[in-house]
Amino acid sequence: MEREERSLRPDPLIEAYKRGLDRTLIRQSLRLSVEERLEALIELQRFADELRRAGRQLHAR
């Protein structure tokens, strides 16, 4: 019984990490289909590539 009671108590470390999470973004993402999530990931990757290119151009000047 004591083991069950211990497992029901919140872990302080997990609680500390949860304070730094924006759960609204997680919920928003979970509403999307797998295809929509993949498309968002692809768009994010395109944006990151564009930022890298712009940074390289800026440093080349």
For the segment 2-7, the average pLDDT, to the nearest whole number, is 64
- Domain locations in the chain as residue ranges: 2-60
Collapsing DSSP to helix, strand or coil, 11 comes out as: coil
Residue 38 confidence class, pLDDT cut points 50, 70, 90: very high
Cα separation, 11 vs 14, in Å, equals: 5
Q: Quote the DSSP letter at residue 9.
A: S
Collapsing DSSP to helix, strand or coil, 1 comes out as: coil
29 near 37, Cβ under 8 Å?
Answer: yes
The structure's pTM equals 0.59
For the segment 5-29, the average pLDDT, to the nearest whole number, is 86
First to last CA, the chain: 68
Cα separation, 17 vs 20, in Å, equals: 6
Residue 61 confidence class, pLDDT cut points 50, 70, 90: confident
